[in-house]
Structure 1
Amino acid sequence: MAVKIYRSVLIIADDLTGANDATAQFAKLGFSTVTTLDIDVVPHLMKDYDVVAVDTESRALSSDRAYDSLFALGSKIKDYVGETAVYKKIDSTLRGNIKAEVKALCDVLEPDLVVFAPAFPKQGRTTKDGVLMVRGVPVEQTYFGKDIRTPVKASKLSAYFEPRHVGAYHHVLLDELRSGRLYDGPALPKVLTFDVEDDEDLRRIVRLVCGLGDKDIMWVGSAGLAESVAYNIVVGDRHGKPILMAVGSVNDMAREQVRMFIEEFDGRLLKVDVEALIGDFEREWLRLRKEVSDALGCALDIVITTSYTREQMEQGRSLAERLNVGLSEFGLMLSRKFGELVSRIFHEFGYGRFGGLFLTGGDISVAAIRSLGIDTLELKGEIEPGLPILKFKDMNVVTKAGGFGSMETLVKVAARLKAER
């Protein structure tokens, strides 16, 4: 199943603080972000930024005016929906014209699925049995139910939808969510709401929904859900300069990540002859040089690995025995040679031929960076926990421990590096 890659993210908020709060979840990962109060410039900004937030200032409007404002905005961005993730930022205590605004966006954008999760556990906002709670109390019974400008009148999430307008509705209870069940039956509901107790529940929601395949999804939530969306959806590009990925980790997850990446990006997998790399580096370099040249000639991403197959790993163990060195010492020898190989590729073909460098495996990352003559790296952000984006001069670099990440991690890395501005 293909992984959906969004070119950009549009955040639609009903006030300025909410727009900035949600945008910050993406900015801290290194995405280029901007906030505007002018809906007319949104399409233009979406061409220049990864994440655009628009403040419609509609929280205290009448429901009819709020509907009209959101419908007008939706009409301007409708043509971008296929490649843009739409995030409707709402207040974590359900203040504002949520029902009217969600309906307006559904009417004009016609998403396949609305994911509704206002919970923000870090701020004491959770959902239990379909009721939004503030520190254990239904929200309408708290101070927010008496708010002077926008009092909350309903704590039940179902009150914010009209089935005749948005189609089938299903609430996912906590035990269903944690067991990975989103809904029963053959047809995908039009709206899914969720019980949420902690941040991991929000991450589960995003991972499970992203696993539904190529659906047009409208995310509706507070900054809590925005943070999980930022870390889990794939934002970037399939097109751009080739990425060089040097994979030396023996972890099973690293191999699965390579497999999915090759499937998604139709990249070129180059398997290093470990014995030749150690014993006759120049011969192995000449062999791989031709393969790299052929791949670049076809504008293909390149994965070069010392540990993709069991045969490669067994070859390494056998060579270590013949050299009478321990596996740890052999690993360092192999890392230094692999690092030199990465350096040769960049010096031979030029930094400008590549959109970035990905390194996995701690020893190999250090060896490659040293061989490239890099002594200082600027931190730009991160793709997901454990995957920082670094910069050396004009080259972007991502490093990763072997077992970190999910199956889609290398897809995220490539998409992000190709889209880096």
Structure 2
Amino acid sequence: MKMIVIADDFTGANDTGVQLAKKGARTEVMLSAAQKPSRRADVLIVNTESRALPAEQAAHSVGEALASWCERATPPLVYKKIDSTFRGNVGAEVMAAMQASGRHLAVIAAAIPSAGRTTQKGLCLVNGTPLLDTEFASDPKTPITSSRIAELVALQSELPVHEVHLDDLRRGRLSALLKAWADEGECMVVVDAVEDRDLMLVAQALCEQKQFPLMVGAAGLANALPVSLFMQEQQALPVLVVAGSMSEATRRQVDRALCEGRADVVDIDASRLISSSFSFEIAAVAEQACAQLSRQHHTILRTSRSAQDRQLIDELCQAAGMSRQQLGEVLSQRIGEITLKILAQARVGGLFLTGGDIATAVASALGAEGYRIQSEVAPCIPCGTFINSELDDLPVITKAGGFGSDSTLCDALYFIEEMYCGH
């Protein structure tokens, strides 16, 4: 995830988020800070529903929503979405966002020219009329007391608030002014904008700062941001193959992929997986697989190397005191646990699951409620997604153990690679 947007109401979260989504960003709006985005989200938008709250409570909500994200080794950029007519707790929420994100400079550009909301000489105008002379001044929940943005912000903040008027913006002075004020200490900067091109100049100046400032605005500024700020670079991610079938067909498919250098393999020791120390085998397999996936190698988890492995089943059953059915259930469940552990640590581009018991166990481990079929990789081999699972809509290919030709696994890897190239 590259950017987090903190909004104070649901519709505002959506009208700002759509500016990013329409440029291709995977944009997800959370109704509370407790929710989690999907693994492939570019932009997370959290609605704190704090516009009408007391200022102190609103600030706490913003800080709480940002805390876990801004403590990460590589924190996302932060966009504080505000109302374009400055209703709500703008000063308090911007202060809280600055503190949580460790930013000393906040740039406030709330204009939405296409909606008649502009900023001139530091004043908020609605269709050319100063804010205080519009209906927003008597808003039933959050009435407005001034047309000057700096005054509205200062009601809930003691930081200096500077203004950059249109002439300085269009002469290209914004970047230098931001640098100078940032060197002086913490502050907020209100920037004029009456056309979309003005907001693009603001976005350009933001990108020129040594430390990226806190972005504060509405849909207009969001629309002006370059996609590099909020979209992850598209890359083909490695596929995790869980080959839990002992069929000859699956072994040939795995061997073919290995011979052609299409994937690496991690072998699972079934005897260790059913022993009392099975947790060590789970950890060791997951660690090896994650290391290979981190190098962008397709990775195969293999439970059977040769036809002779079938002859060992009775020995395993006897050693574990289990029936064949019980043995299969335990192995499948623990392979599901391995898969979940890997997916929690590594970024993958898709799953290939061979063997019905294994596919079911992995689906269960991921909390899936079903499988949505979308296409066919080869005859009787579908590609789809798990419904309501930890994987969101990651491609998942399933295959019965005995199905397919020797090239089926290679074909499936190519199929997922092409899905990425097509985006």
Q: TM-score range by the shorter chain?
A: 0.5 to 0.7
8 Å contact from structure 1 (residues 206, 232) kept in 2: no
TM-score, normalization by structure 2? 0.52
Matches of 1:160 and 1:81, distance apart in 2: 35
Deviations 1:324-368 (A, max 9, x none): xxxxxxxxxxxxxxxxxxxxxxxxxxxx9xxxxxxxxxxxxxxxx
Identity score, percent: 34
- In the alignment, which of 66, 81, 85 is matched to residue 93 of structure 1? 85
| 1:229 and 2:201 are equivalent in the alignment | no
| 1:47 Cα deviation after fit | 4.3
Structure 1 residues 38 and 192, CA gap change in structure 2 (3 angstroms) = same
1:192 matched to 2:192: no
Which residue type is aligned with residue 206 of structure 1? Answer: A
Aligned pairs for 1:265-284 within 5 A = none
The verdict on how the C-alpha distance between 1:112 and 1:198 changes in structure 2, with shifts beyond 3 A counting, is: same
Residue of structure 2 in register with 1:103 after alignment? 95
Q: Which residue of 2 aligns with 1:32?
A: 26
1:17 and 1:90 mapped to 2: Cα distance?
11
Q: Distance in 2 between matches of 1:192 and 1:11?
A: 19
Alignment of 1:368-407 (within 5 A): 393-396=418-421
2:163 partner amino acid:
H
The residue aligned with 1:403 is none
* Correspondent of 1:177 among 169, 176, 185: 169
Ranges of 4+ aligned residues in structure 1 off by more than 4 Å: 162-168, 183-187, 237-242
Tell me by how many angstroms 1:194 deviates: 0.6
Change (3 A) 1:224 1:164: closer
Counterpart mapping for 1:7-22 below 5 A:
7-22=1-16
1:209 aligns with 2:206: yes
Distance 1:233 1:48, change over 3 A: closer
Aligned length: 244
Q: Separation in 1 of the partners of 2:419 and 2:169?
A: 43
- 3-state SS of paired residue (1:216): coil
Unaligned 5+ residue runs, structure 2? Answer: 239-294, 297-348, 350-415
Structure 1 counterpart of 2:421, which letter?
N
Paired AA for residue 394 in structure 1: M
Output the TM-score relative to the length of structure 1: 0.52
Deviations 1:73-97 (A, max 9, x none): 2323221484411111111111111
CA contact (8 A) 1:132 1:155 kept: yes
1:59 maps to 51
- Opposite residue 202 of structure 1, the aligned amino acid is L
Question: Structure 1's 45 and 71: CA in aligned 2 closer, same or farther, altered over 3 A?
Answer: same
Residues 208-245 of structure 1: per-residue CA shift (max 9 Å, x gap): 220223x1321110111111125463632598679xxx
Distance 1:160 1:81, change over 3 A: farther
Question: Conserved in 2, the CA contact under 8 Å of 1:33 and 1:52?
Answer: yes
Q: Map 1:317-336 onto structure 2 (within 5 A).
A: none
Task: Tell me the secondary structure at the aligned position of residue 215 of structure 2.
Answer: strand
Contact in 1 for aligned 2:161/2:189 (Cα 8 Å)? yes
Find the aligned partners of 1:48 and 1:220 in 2 and give their Cα distance. Answer: 25
Q: Could you list the per-position Cα deviations for residues 222-270 of structure 1 after superposition, in whole angstroms to 9, with x for gaps in the alignment? A: 111111125463632598679xxxxxxxxxxxxxxxxxxxxxxxxxxxx
- C-alpha distance in 1, partners of 2:227/2:420? 23
Give, in angstroms, the shift of residue 140 of structure 1: 1.8
Say which one has the larger Rg: 2
| 1:37–1:56 CA contact under 8 A, matched in 2 | yes
State the one-letter code of the partner of 1:94.
F
- Give per-residue Cα distances to partners, 1:277-315, cap 9 Å, x unaligned: xxxxxxxxxxxxxxxxxxxxx99xxxxxxxxxxxxxxxx
**Deviation at 1:393?**
4.5
Aligned-residue offset at 1:114:
0.8
3-state SS of 1:93 partner: coil
Residues 81 and 87 (structure 1), Cα distance of their counterparts in 2 relative to 1, 3 Å cut: farther
2 CA distance for matches of 1:75 and 1:166? 22
Partner of 1:126: 118
Aligned partners of 1:131 and 1:156 also within 8 Å? yes
Structure 1 residue aligned with 2:300: none
Secondary structure of 1:10's partner?
A: strand
Report deviation, 1:164.
Answer: 11
SS of structure 2 residue aligned to 1:394? helix
Using CA pairs below 8 Å that are at least 6 residues apart, which structure has the higher relative contact order? 1
